[in-house]
């Protein structure tokens, strides 16, 4: 094996080692949940499975926490 | 769907404990259990800061990792919940949690530790939504009613924000850009005017 091949291999190994630090690990738990199944929050009587309506309701409430918007709207 | 998170704005929190009271009242949390509490740093010293702390519904929750009976799960909205029927009250989650969120009610005459209780982001648990059983075990399910957690909605100064992480970080960013940053935005000068330096305020240190 000549020196050039060795250098190429060493560079490839070094690049692989360096790039390994860029890997984004999954944030999903490796453990499995053993308990009871939970119903979706929008599955109740109020939203009857309408996810979009439920999300809109939460978004409206979340946005109302920004009083800068509320005071500007009042002017 | 969004990732539900809390942010507490330390520049706004006035340590009123309104969030703690709202939580206790909303879920009828038993005596000795505090799902949320207010922590104050440098209490009584000009420049003190308070923050409201509860379960932060971590993206990579350590409680889930250490639970020996795997009673934790995460909803589509990123809320970390647990099944009390499965919990054995071992307390591992308490040791793992960096926020001290898991709480254990005293379950017997000899200090027996009950099943873990913690902030549910007002989204109940693995029982039928808004059922009596869900309320008894986990408290009220406001999320199923299209409402945000009671603590944040009750916060008088809107220091505690709850909702989609993207939305509340935008609100927080708007605030910081609008009000500026530094010691002059705290306390005396903010309330009564005058010098913004802490050293010039009554009781301030030089």
Task: Provide the 10 A C-beta neighbour count for residue B170.
Answer: 14
A54/B59 touch (CB, cutoff 8 Å), yes or no = no
DSSP H or E stretch at residue B176: helix B165-179
Q: Measure B148 CA to nearest chain A CA, in Å.
A: 7
Total structural domains in chain B?
Answer: 1
Contact of B144 with chain A, judged by CB distance below 8 Å, is answered with yes
Q: Which of residues 10-49 of B touch A (CB under 8 A)?
A: none
Which of the residues B129, B142, B154 would you substitute to probe the A interface, choosing the one with the greatest number of A C-beta atoms within 10 Å?
A: B129
Cα B78 to Cα B55: distance, rounded to the nearest angstrom: 12
Q: Please report the beta strands in A1-75, taking only residues with DSSP state E, as ranges in sequence order.
A: none
Q: What confidence tens digit (pLDDT) does each residue in B93-149 have? A: 999 999 999 999 887 777 777 899 999 999 999 999 999 999 999 999 999 999 999
- Provide the 3-class DSSP secondary structure of residue B118: coil
Task: Say how far apart CA B7 and CA A71 lie, in whole Å.
Answer: 22
Kindly report the pTM of this predicted structure: 0.81
β-strand pairing of B37-41 with B49-53: antiparallel
Q: Which range has the worst mean pLDDT, A35-49, B96-110, B152-166, B180-194?
A: B180-194
Range of the domain at B166: 4-200
Domain assignment present for residue B206? The answer is no
Query: What's the DSSP call for residue B123?
Result: B
DSSP structure class, residue B56:
-
**B118, B61 Cβ separation under 8 angstroms:** no
**Confidence at residue A46, expressed as pLDDT on a 0 to 100 scale:** 87
Helix (H, G, I), strand (E, B) or coil at B181: coil
Q: What is the pLDDT of residue A30?
A: 63
Instruction: Cite the DSSP H helix spans in chain B.
Output: 18-27, 62-66, 92-96, 132-138, 150-154, 165-179, 187-192
Domain contains B152? yes
pLDDT attached to residue B183: 61
Nearest CB neighbour to B126, from listed A36, A58, A63: A36
Contact A63/A69 with Cβ under 8 angstroms?
A: yes
CATH code of the domain in which B84 resides: 3.30.70.20
């Amino acid at each position: 094996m000549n020196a050039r091949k060795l250098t190429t291999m060493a560079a490839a190994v070094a690049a692989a080692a360096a790039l390994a630090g860029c890997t984004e690990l999954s944030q999903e738990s490796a453990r499995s949940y053993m308990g009871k199944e939970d119903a979706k929050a929008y599955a109740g009587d109020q939203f009857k499975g309408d996810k979009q309506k439920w999300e809109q309701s939460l978004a409206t409430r979340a946005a109302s926490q920004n009083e800068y918007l509320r005071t500007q709207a009042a002017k | 769907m969004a990732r539900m998170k809390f942010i507490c704005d330390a520049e706004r929190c006035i340590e009123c404990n309104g969030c703690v009271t709202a939580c206790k009242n909303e879920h009828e949390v038993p005596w000795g259990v505090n799902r949320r509490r207010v922590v104050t740093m440098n209490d009584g010293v000009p420049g003190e800061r308070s923050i409201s702390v509860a379960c932060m519904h971590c993206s990579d929750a350590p409680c889930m990792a250490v639970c020996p009976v795997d009673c934790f799960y995460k909803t589509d909205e990123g809320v970390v919940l647990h099944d009390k029927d499965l919990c054995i009250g071992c307390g591992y989650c308490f040791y793992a949690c960096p926020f001290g969120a898991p709480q254990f009610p005293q379950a017997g005459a000899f200090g027996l530790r009950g099943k873990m209780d913690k902030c549910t982001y007002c989204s109940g648990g693995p029982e039928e939504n808004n059922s009596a059983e869900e309320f008894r075990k986990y408290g009220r399910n406001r999320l199923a009613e299209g409402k945000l957690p009671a603590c944040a909605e009750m916060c008088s100064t809107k220091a505690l924000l709850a909702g989609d992480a993207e939305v509340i970080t935008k609100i927080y960013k708007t605030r910081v850009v609008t009000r500026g940053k530094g010691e002059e935005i705290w306390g005396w000068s903010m309330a009564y005017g005058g010098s913004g330096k802490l050293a010039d305020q009554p009781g301030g240190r030089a």
